[in-house]
Amino acid sequence: MESKLEIQQALHGYSDGHRKLASSFRLSKDTERQILILSDLSGPGGNDQFDPYITGYPVESGDYYALARTWPAPEMGRPGCVWTHTLLIGLDLLSHLNHPEILLSLFQRPSLEAGFNDYSKALILPSDAASESAPDTMWGGVLIHALYGGTSPYTVLPVKRYSAAEIPFLSVWRLQWPGLRKSFTFCTGVRSQRSLDGEVFHLQGALLRDVRRVDRGTVPLTVIEIPSPNCVHEEWVYTALAAYIGVDNSLMDFFEDVGYRLPGDTTLFRPIVQTYSILNRGRPSTVVNELILYTAKEFPEPDAGRDYKRAFLVENVAGLPEMDLIKGLALTETYASFNVHVLQMRQRAAAFWASEEQAWGLLVWLLTESHNPLGEQAILGLTEAMPTVRLQNALASSPEVLVGIIRREPRFASEESLWRDPSKQSIAAKALLACREELAGQRDEIITAALKAKADPIHPSLFDVFGPVAVESVLNWMNEFPAREIPNGLQIGLSSRSKEMLNWLESHPSAYRETVSSILKMINLDVVANSPILSTALKRFFEEPNFDNVSISVAAKVLQSSFGAATPESVDLAAIAFDVVYHAAAASCLPDDAWYGLLRFLPSSNWWQDWDRCERLRKGIAERFRTEHWPVKGLVGITKDDRVFAEIIDELRQWYSGRRVLAAAAELIDDNSHRALMLSE
């Protein structure tokens, strides 16, 4: 098993051409080809001697990072020959390599006399102790600024000798998080512009005479000049410089903590170092707000800096309080700089329900603050994941909280638990009223939930919330199980919508009898007495003789309304209801409240006959015809009982006006028996 401290190696040099001479393990073809190319001389000019130089780059397979030293090989006799010893460092080891300069001790210049056997086995990394090399204090600031703060991330350092670039370049390489370190490319000695897979090396050292040739490529480079002693840098440069020269390694600790979530992008170095500075000042909430403002300034477009935003504001690699992050994002005026999908506000807010008190507090806070579209997404996430039991908290909160919840999550309006507390039903109804447009599609479910919970909100009522169309939902629910009772408040609301109830009856000819009777009892007949729909519904209801209490009650109501009206339609309604009421009175089954409702329309009889309700009813019918309240053509159909009809004729015959009615009615009918009865003395 390979040790974490093992480093594989390979040797390249001249043998009938530049080729691999030895290696400690088998490489893939692509990796072999890549290392072969980059182990050759770094540009033209093979006759002159040069300092050994170092090259660093990621290998093709992605499993290793290559660090190579190249020496001139004049002993080979062929111009331009070199020896290159390549160390292949595993990525796990690379991530924790705090002093890369110790790798220099592993390089060995080969010789033909000694052979190449030493390059055929893995090496062991020496102890990663502090380096004895003196830190570079000359180039750090300008190197950092050129690489990470200039117009081009590709930088050239002019040097008198290649060796002068080793410590600066290794210090820059050390001062990186793992993701950047494993993708960074550098070479301390180039004669022409070097590249890997078409990408120019990030950092190149060149002799003064070669700088112009290196800078001649198609990609613009930043050529570093000798720094001024009084050079003033930005805050992030000073922060990075302190770590570069080893004065303060806390930035390196920060990179180790957060770097595993950061990509190898040099353009992120500056904002991440500045973020480190921001994170080390002030309280968490203050830090969060400053971080959000800085992020928006640095990456003003929603999709810019996506990796940075995801790392610090979503995955929260800095370990800031998640609550402060959500609140800060929900209120920031710079929300346009953030992609709501990248920030995952909905999912993150929903996760707070792991602690219900925390989630509820956040939801209430957001609903009572002037939040931005990011905050709206957080509210949606919280309401979508909110447990139903929290509805009671919503009912006890301010109205704007309940309205806010229902508006964003209408399913709660159809929860029975919303309606179970009688003292809170009006609050719930007011919340529905405030967002009824959003709830229109759930009308039936909401009304059903309220009715199941026996809710009876009055101010406002469900009819105030949904308008006349609520009548259909209520009646449908009532007809589903006819034994159900409608609360008093809703009955009052229905009675003011008699036309809608009649329309429902017309469109539901097979409605249960109990439903029809309940509707007929609630209908305000004074409003719909002239409607042909009412007559149709009543005829259907009374088409079979039925003298139960419900039928008697409905018939008494209809007859009472008919007595109070003076229209052709009123006599038709009376004809439908009269027999039921009359026979109930004859059987002493007419309820007192129904009788007293009729009594004010009935003429008095002799004092010894006032007890006879049937006689009073006959006199009432006769009076309506003889006083011309009802048209005479309705006389024949007023009852189906011939005996009762004859008695009504007798009542009319006692009055001159009644006899006139009989004569007029006789001319209008074809029934000889009835005509004879009317005209007989």
Q: What is the mean pLDDT of the chain?
A: 89
Residue 534 to residue 300: CA distance in whole angstroms:
68
Residue 27 to residue 242: CA distance in whole angstroms:
39
Model confidence band, residue 21 (pLDDT cutoffs 50, 70, 90): very high
Q: Are 182 and 91 in contact (CB under 8 A)?
A: yes
Q: Are 174 and 239 in contact (CB under 8 A)?
A: no
Tell me the pLDDT tens digit for each residue of 27-81: 889 899 999 999 999 888 656 778 899 999 999 877 899 999 999 998 887 888 9
The amino acid sitting at 5 is: L
**How many other C-beta atoms can be found within 10 angstroms of the C-beta atom of residue 393?**
18
% of the chain with per-residue pLDDT over 90: 59
Model confidence band, residue 646 (pLDDT cutoffs 50, 70, 90): very high
Task: Return all residues near 101 (Cβ < 8 A) that are at least 6 apart.
Answer: 131, 133, 167, 170
Q: Which pLDDT score is estimated for 373? A: 97
Residue 544 has pLDDT above 80, yes or no: no
Q: Which pLDDT score is estimated for 45? A: 67
Widest CA span in the chain: 157
User: Which DSSP state fits 154?
Assistant: -
Tell me the pLDDT tens digit for each residue of 260-300: 888 899 999 999 999 999 998 878 888 999 999 999 999 99
Which of 130-139, 146-155, 303-312, 342-351 shows the lowest mean pLDDT across its residues? 130-139
Tell me which residue of 654, 590, 656, 655 sits closest to 617, measured CA to CA. 590
Tell me the pLDDT tens digit for each residue of 209-219: 889 888 776 77
Residue 203 to residue 173: CA distance in whole angstroms:
10
Q: Which pLDDT score is estimated for 248? A: 87
The CA-CA-CA angle for residues 158, 164, 166, to 5°, reads 105
Model confidence band, residue 607 (pLDDT cutoffs 50, 70, 90): low
Residue 231 has pLDDT above 50, yes or no: yes
Q: Are 638 and 623 in contact (CB under 8 A)?
A: no
Q: Which pLDDT score is estimated for 329? A: 97
Which of 43-52, 93-102, 433-442, 457-466 shows the lowest mean pLDDT across its residues? 43-52
In this predicted model, which residue has the larger pLDDT, 518 or 673?
518
User: Which DSSP state fits 405?
Assistant: H
Model confidence band, residue 606 (pLDDT cutoffs 50, 70, 90): low
* Start-end of H helices in 60-126: 91-95
Q: Give 626-633's long-range contacts (Cβ < 8 A, gap of 24+).
A: 626/652, 626/655, 626/657, 626/658, 626/660, 626/661, 627/657, 629/565, 629/566, 629/570, 630/566, 630/570, 630/571, 630/574, 631/568, 631/571, 632/661, 632/664, 632/665, 632/668, 633/665, 633/668
Residue 608 has pLDDT above 60, yes or no: no
Tell me the pLDDT tens digit for each residue of 368-418: 999 999 999 999 999 999 999 999 889 988 888 999 999 999 989 999 999
Tell me which residue of 277, 361, 288 sits closest to 319, measured CA to CA. 288
Model confidence band, residue 132 (pLDDT cutoffs 50, 70, 90): low
The pLDDT of 120-124, averaged and rounded, is 94
